[in-house]
Amino acid sequence: MFTRRFTAVAAGVVLGAVALAGQAFAHVEVSAKPAQALAQNAVVSFSAEAENGSAGISSVRVVLPQGIAPADVTLVAAPSGWKLTPTADGYTVAGTTLKVKTDAAYKIKVKQLPNAKTIAFKTLVTYSNGDVDRWIELPSASDPNPEHPAPVLKLAAAAPGASPTEASLVTPAPSDSVSPSTGTPEAATATASSAAAPASAPTGVGGWIVLTVLAGVALALGVTLARRKAARRAG
């Protein structure tokens, strides 16, 4: 009983710490209304951070997750003059280059969100000088906080009686996806992977000490990263 309860508590603390650190790492933020599986006509908001000190953002390209077809995405709001163009595996939002250090914020409407707990939107942010920020890496058990994380949207459970439409079962074509190191199109999907739960956990007083130390380290990491992010934006 103690081991089971300790494991549950440990998992909760560690996952919470990981989430905090992940937010500090996030360079493209995503949210939705409603953020619920199988929700129809959901408005999904993105904010791509401008990290280039000498050039402005000229376009944002997104690889859609499984369950969202490019044809079922429409643009709701974007910087003045920007338009959405569907691609084989997602879409591109582009227009007049934004001012240096101006984030690219925009909103899309999705006909129906997938029946999933989390969905990832691999994102490429292109600047006027040709530089590209590739936020396309997905968290895994071995690397819960990748260096270039894709924005991940958490979804609440589907409403009772909700069912997927035919369009929500479509998987975007993978031929136009991108690799982590280059802009070269390669076969890849945008499905999010979840970290595996720990198989066992230490017990006793020593176990609680270890848990406390781990939580403290993760919290400190999250705070440090958040401060660095704020400093970059202020600079």
Give residue-wise pLDDT tens across range 138-168.
989 999 999 999 999 999 999 999 999 765 5
Structure tokens at 61: 């390209």
Tell me what pLDDT residue 169 has: 59
Domains of the chain with bracketed CATH: 28-192 (2.60.40.2230)
Q: Kindly compute the dihedral angle of the four CA atoms of residues 31, 33, 155, 93, in this order, to the nearest 10 degrees.
A: -50
| pLDDT bracket for residue 186 (50, 70, 90) | very low
Percent of the chain predicted with pLDDT > 70: 59
Structure tokens at 1: 């009983």
Strands (E) in 64-206, as ranges, are: 73-77, 83-86, 90-94, 104-112, 118-120, 122-127, 132-135, 152-154, 177-178, 185-186
pLDDT for 195-209, tens place per residue? 333 444 444 555 555
CB atoms within 10 A of CB 185: 14
Q: Which of 86-90, 93-97, 152-156, 217-221 has the lowest mean pLDDT?
A: 217-221
Mean pLDDT along residues 4-9: 50
Please state the pTM of the whole predicted model: 0.67
Report angle CA 26, 29, 35 to the nearest 5 degrees. 125
Q: What are phi and psi of 188, to 5 degrees?
A: -160, 155
Residue with the larger pLDDT of the pair 217 and 216: 216
User: How many helices and strands (H and E) does the chain possess?
Assistant: 2, 13
Q: Length of the chain, please?
A: 235
Tell me what pLDDT residue 165 has: 79
* CA 118 to the chain's CA centroid: 9
Residue 90 and residue 63 in contact, taking contact as beta carbons nearer than 8 Å: yes
Compute CA distances 220 → 18, 20, 31, 195, whole Å.
11, 10, 25, 21
